[in-house]
């Protein structure tokens, strides 16, 4: 059978590996690792460690090894009798073309190429990429990369060569991140892990010689476990198709894009990084993305802040925000961020109803502010926060709540977090939680994120998240009006 397949391939008779959806890449039962190694200094050793922490059957391939980590090592992927869902190439750029050909002959549907040294280095590397395209032309084999860490599906699949003790992996969640940059992908999932935020999947698309952002947007828009699809991109492989897919997706679930390379120097840097051609001005890109219902962000911090709010809350019907806290200074800062069109996010302070103000005044210290922002002062108690949050639930002038939660006032206890979680999960008004402070609030923030309550360590982050929710609410309202 091996010889027959080789002869068919050389004769140009392809098609023995039928094109499939991305499930066999993201949920493989069998994985072949080409370049597997017993040497801990080799990438193939690190990847094998990562693979073995999860569920697929692993088939190491290396003609120089008989066994790797107790597993039988094969001379060629063609010698493996089992059907293979995914092959990972942990070998140098100049060796990948013949190995990809063998994967195509074997009928492997997906190949991840880890190595760099392709179009990002110039004409020589670009020529190898063209050979890769030719190697899979007419077959059912698809390539992810090259120049990529591959795929992480928490608890299911890990192809990353970064040791987890240096680069901790996140838990399972509802946000899928697709990145053209391995470093940004790493930064995003490490921050997510540190903050207790789970992720659905992390995908590095690298140089996009074959599979690109459109393939993954098309996949994750149909994935029921994905509540938000997020991208870091330096270029669009087919911008028109991406916008079409984004419009289809945005009515079902949020799409977030960090588009880099918008400045002239940034475009040059993007080209040297992944071989990308980053065109179009930043303003033009932002406008086009907005029309497609996409949230545009600038960096890995905003990427996670927006994705978390959109995945957990979805949208808010308007931009009228009530600020609740226990300090005047933070209330003033939050007001500026909410309302300023130059230094903030151009939303509105909600005009509280007379009934809301009466109820808040009845349970507040006489010197508290019951207008917006609500300042319960240092005499605040857990019960005051509970009753204020209750009071605004039926206020028709409030679209969302910015809760500035502090634990420093002496009468507050850790149970304040339970009160906020209760209203966040069961109340009528979406709540963005901001908890400013040192190390004490960190476990609280992690717990909230793990429960699906969006929480942030700064006022600006929380207000930015509210802006993203308001934008999505406006987009959905516009779509519904057209229908």
End-to-end alpha-carbon separation of the chain, Å? 55
The pLDDT of residue 270: 43
pLDDT digits (tens, 9 = 90+) for 373-409: 999 999 999 999 999 999 999 999 999 999 999 999 9
Full DSSP string of 5-34: HHHHHHTT---SS----THHHHS-SEEEEE
- Contact call for residues 388 and 363 (beta carbons, < 8 A): yes
- Contact call for residues 63 and 75 (beta carbons, < 8 A): yes
The pTM assigned to this predicted structure is 0.91
Q: For residue 138, is the peptide bond before it cis, meaning its omega torsion is within 30 degrees of 0?
A: no
Four-residue CA torsion sign, 307, 313, 315, 317: negative
Domains and CATH numbers, the chain: 1-146 (3.40.50.720), 170-312 (3.40.50.261), 314-482 (3.40.50.261)
- Contact call for residues 152 and 169 (beta carbons, < 8 A): yes
- Contact call for residues 50 and 159 (beta carbons, < 8 A): yes
Q: Name 253's bridge partners.
A: none
Give the pair of three-digit tokens for residue 459.
């006022």
The pLDDT of residue 280: 57
Spatial separation of the C-alpha atoms in residues 97 and 87, rounded to whole Å:
13
- What's the gap between Cα 59 and its chain centre? 29
Q: Give the position of tokens 């545009």.
A: 296
The pLDDT of residue 271: 46
The pLDDT of residue 481: 85
pLDDT digits (tens, 9 = 90+) for 396-447: 999 999 999 999 999 999 999 999 999 999 999 999 999 988 888 899 999 9
Show the low-confidence residues of the chain (pLDDT under 70). 1-20, 261-281, 483
The pLDDT of residue 276: 42
């Amino acid at each position: 059978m091996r010889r027959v397949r080789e002869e068919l391939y050389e004769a140009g008779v392809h098609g023995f590996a039928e094109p499939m959806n991305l499930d066999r890449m993201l949920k493989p039962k069998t994985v072949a690792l080409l370049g597997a190694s017993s040497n801990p200094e080799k990438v193939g050793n690190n990847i094998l460690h990562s693979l073995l922490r999860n569920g697929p059957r692993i088939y190491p391939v290396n003609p120089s090894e008989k066994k790797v980590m107790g597993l039988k090592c094969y001379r060629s992927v063609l010698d493996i009798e089992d059907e293979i869902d995914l092959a990972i190439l942990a070998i140098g750029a100049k060796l990948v073309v013949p190995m990809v050909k063998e994967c195509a002959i074997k009928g492997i549907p997906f190949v991840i190429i880890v190595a760099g040294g392709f179009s990002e280095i110039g004409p020589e590397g670009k020529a190898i990429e063209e050979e890769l395209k030719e190697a899979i032309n007419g077959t059912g084999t698809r390539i992810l990369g090259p120049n990529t860490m591959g795929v992480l599906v928490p608890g299911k699949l890990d192809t990353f060569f970064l040791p987890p003790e240096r680069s901790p992996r996140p838990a399972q969640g509802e946000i899928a991140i697709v990145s053209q940059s391995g470093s940004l992908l790493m930064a995003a999932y490490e921050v997510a892990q540190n903050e207790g935020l789970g992720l659905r999947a992390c995908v590095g698309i690298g140089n996009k010689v074959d599979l690109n952002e459109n393939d993954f947007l098309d996949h994750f828009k149909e994935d029921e476990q994905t509540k938000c699809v997020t991208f870091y991109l330096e270029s669009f492989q087919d911008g028109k198709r991406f916008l079409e897919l984004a419009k289809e997706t945005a009515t079902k679930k949020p799409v977030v894009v960090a588009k880099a390379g918008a400045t002239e120097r940034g475009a040059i840097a993007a080209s040297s990084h992944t071989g990308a051609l980053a065109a179009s001005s930043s303003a033009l890109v932002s406008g086009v993305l907005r029309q497609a219902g996409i949230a545009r962000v600038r960096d890995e911090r905003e990427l996670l802040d927006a994705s978390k709010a959109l995945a957990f809350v979805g949208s808010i019907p308007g931009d009228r925000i009530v600020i609740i806290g226990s300090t005047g200074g933070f209330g003033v800062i939050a007001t500026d961020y909410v309302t300023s069109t130059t230094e903030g996010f151009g939303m509105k302070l909600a005009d509280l109803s007379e009934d809301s103000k009466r109820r808040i005044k009845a349970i507040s210290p006489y010197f508290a502010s019951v207008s917006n922002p609500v300042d319960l002062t240092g005499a605040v108690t857990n019960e005051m926060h509970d009753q204020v949050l209750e009071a605004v639930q039926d206020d028709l002038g409030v679209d969302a709540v910015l809760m500035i939660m502090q634990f420093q006032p002496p009468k507050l206890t850790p149970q304040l977090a339970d009160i906020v979680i209760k209203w966040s999960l069961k109340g009528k008004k979406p709540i963005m939680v901001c908890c400013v402070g040192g190390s004490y609030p960190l476990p609280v923030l992690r717990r909230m994120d793990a429960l699906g309550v969006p929480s942030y360590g700064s006022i600006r982050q929380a207000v930015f998240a509210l802006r993203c929710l308001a934008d999505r609410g406006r987009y959905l309202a516009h779509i519904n009006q057209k229908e």
